[in-house]
Chain A
């Protein structure tokens, strides 16, 4: 750990000073205790596209996640509910994913989006829906294989079917894929 800071301005200053490998921030930070942490994260993603940023939030808010994912460049980005910190191994895996340039979206955000959009999703099989949920959370193909204990070929087939059924463009890069899936689930927003 390079530095621990108490407010958003100090965060920006510390990032400039220490050039860390990853920034982990709460949405809510002093002084305003509103969404300063998120704003700082968006600022950092715009200023330093190569810096991975993981944002923790007390609440599941699609608009926060959407802002975070939409802004910035190719570096890793994540939006997790604060509760996930308790599940140490999963949380560390998420940190690793983001640090390695991956994208992590909280399962709760994804679940809510899936719950909301019924019509187009009815065309998916239950297994395809599971795959879609993992895709939206930022899992790579290999990870989806591992979590669902299916073969690489089967996963690729499911993904192909999903993209076809939802009319989504194929994307190799997981971040782009997350964006496309979320945009689709969010009804074209962002």
Chain B
């Protein structure tokens, strides 16, 4: 989608939706600004009055957080104006819980930029926006109605309070002028809306460089993911098949060897070696890229992880369909790591995996009844996972007080992809659950 500056330079601009969108954007901004003005004034007044009782002090201290809401609103409104999507400028909090969230929010520049934007919008911009919309639309519209006003009054009409008219001809001329102005109103509206949008982008948007960095990291992870899949396929079609063939040849040779002799013993040993190699290769390939994840998606892959775990694991993962491959893979490896940690370090006796998709995000919880004390800052496994989840735009949080229990939560924004192949030919529902 182009933005309104490009549209302005093109012929036929007035016939596009841009004049209307610009007017809508400005009106919405003005309305939001007026509401924000009232809210901020009320908030400050209540906070100020209550500060005598100390209750008001945190209330006043929380005032800059209003910028978070208004910033989110600005970013939403910016969708009206097209252009590149505006990334959320806020960092993922350093840890779980409201404390870490508050610490991160107060420390980052984006919060204060948004707070500045909120003040500007609430106390300066919204009257201006209203003025522009009124000037561009209402004044010409009023001019168009001049003949009607003259007819109603019968004698004279004051055009915009400054210019007296008596003749219908003059009134019609003014009306025609008004109509032309009304038609041309799209230009000033688009200029004003474009300027306002640029300001909103600067104050409430993320930095483009960071966005580009995230995209390039995501590309890297995608390439990595594709490479893993390729290696898995190559091993499956190559080494594994050859080993199966070798094992089969050895098996046939054993049938031909005289039973009980030294040859039969050597062949049996070789056969056992070949089988061990196959088993090891199978585990290795599964670790590189689990086939069940690609074939069946997260619920079955989580059930498979539960099967492989030495702990009894209760799995309850229900999703509305398949998710993007990078999201499935990030979620899968997070669950795998969490279950491995639970078995290895936490001394847990049981674990649970719970997964749902709602409101545009996948949420996976892995909990165990172990001794806790998992620390993302120390465990390289957890840090690597957090990086992996962050690349797909998600976040990983760990709550693991000493003494337990441990809860690892992965949240990834995503939309389910429809996969007609698995939906039509699989006799199972796309979701599954297994309880231990």
Measuring CB to CB, which residues of chain A are less than 8 angstroms from any residue of chain B? 28, 33-35, 39, 42-43, 46, 58-64, 67, 70-71, 82-83, 85-89, 91, 112-113, 115-119, 186-190
A16 to B436, CA, bound (A): 41
Most-contacted residue by chain A among B240, B291, B294, B314 (CB, 10 A) = B291
A190 to B218, CA, bound (A): 37
Name 29 interchain pairs, CB-CB below 8 A, sorted by A: A28-B291, A34-B295, A39-B425, A58-B282, A58-B285, A59-B282, A59-B292, A61-B291, A61-B304, A62-B307, A63-B292, A63-B300, A63-B304, A63-B432, A64-B292, A67-B427, A70-B427, A83-B244, A83-B275, A85-B247, A85-B251, A86-B271, A86-B274, A86-B275, A88-B248, A88-B251, A89-B255, A113-B307, A189-B433
A190 to B432, CA, bound (A): 9
Shortest Cβ distance from A112 into B: residue = B307
Given contacts A58-B282, A63-B303, A86-B274, whether A187 and B435 have CB atoms under 8 Å apart is yes
Number of inter-chain CB pairs below 8 Å = 100
Contact of A118 among B252, B278, B307, B312 (CB under 8 A): B312
Given contacts A85-B244, A86-B244, A86-B250, whether A61 and B434 have CB atoms under 8 Å apart is no
Given contacts A67-B428, A88-B251, whether A82 and B303 have CB atoms under 8 Å apart is no
Q: Once the chains bind, are A115 and B310 in contact (CB under 8 Å)?
A: yes
Q: Once the chains bind, are A42 and B312 in contact (CB under 8 Å)?
A: no
Q: Smallest Cβ distance from B386 to chain A, in angstroms?
A: 29
Q: At the interface, is chain B mostly helix, strand, loop or mixed?
A: helix
Q: Smallest Cβ distance from A98 to chain B, in angstroms?
A: 18
B426 interfacial contact with A, CB 8 Å = yes
A28 to B244, CA, bound (A): 15
B103 interfacial contact with A, CB 8 Å = no
A23 to B257, CA, bound (A): 30
**Can you name 6 extra interface pairs (CB under 8 A) apart from A82-B240, A89-B255, A115-B310?**
A34-B294, A34-B295, A42-B425, A58-B240, A61-B304, A85-B247
Q: Once the chains bind, are A189 and B307 in contact (CB under 8 Å)?
A: no
Chain A residues with CB under 8 Å of B246's CB are 86
Contact of A43 among B274, B275, B295, B425 (CB under 8 A): B425
B296 interfacial contact with A, CB 8 Å = yes
Given contacts A61-B292, A189-B434, whether A83 and B278 have CB atoms under 8 Å apart is yes
Contact of B303 among A33, A43, A58, A62 (CB under 8 A): A62
Q: Smallest Cβ distance from A171 to chain B, in angstroms?
A: 22
Question: How many residues of chain B have a CB within 8 Å of chain A?
Answer: 46
Most-contacted residue by chain A among B312, B425, B427 (CB, 10 A) = B427
Chain B residues with CB under 8 Å of A189's CB are 303, 432-434
Q: Once the chains bind, are B295 and A87 in contact (CB under 8 Å)?
A: no
A188 to B314, CA, bound (A): 12
Chain B residues with CB under 8 Å of A58's CB are 236, 240, 282, 285, 291
A118 to B271, CA, bound (A): 32
B91 interfacial contact with A, CB 8 Å = no
B306 interfacial contact with A, CB 8 Å = yes
B371 interfacial contact with A, CB 8 Å = no
Q: Smallest Cβ distance from B434 to chain A, in angstroms?
A: 5
Chain A residues with CB under 8 Å of B247's CB are 83, 85-86
Among B124-139, those with CB < 8 Å from A are: none
Chain A residues with CB under 8 Å of B282's CB are 58-60
B309 interfacial contact with A, CB 8 Å = yes
Shortest Cβ distance from B294 into A: residue = A34
Shortest Cβ distance from A188 into B: residue = B435
Among B313-363, those with CB < 8 Å from A are: 313-314
Q: Smallest Cβ distance from B287 to chain A, in angstroms?
A: 12
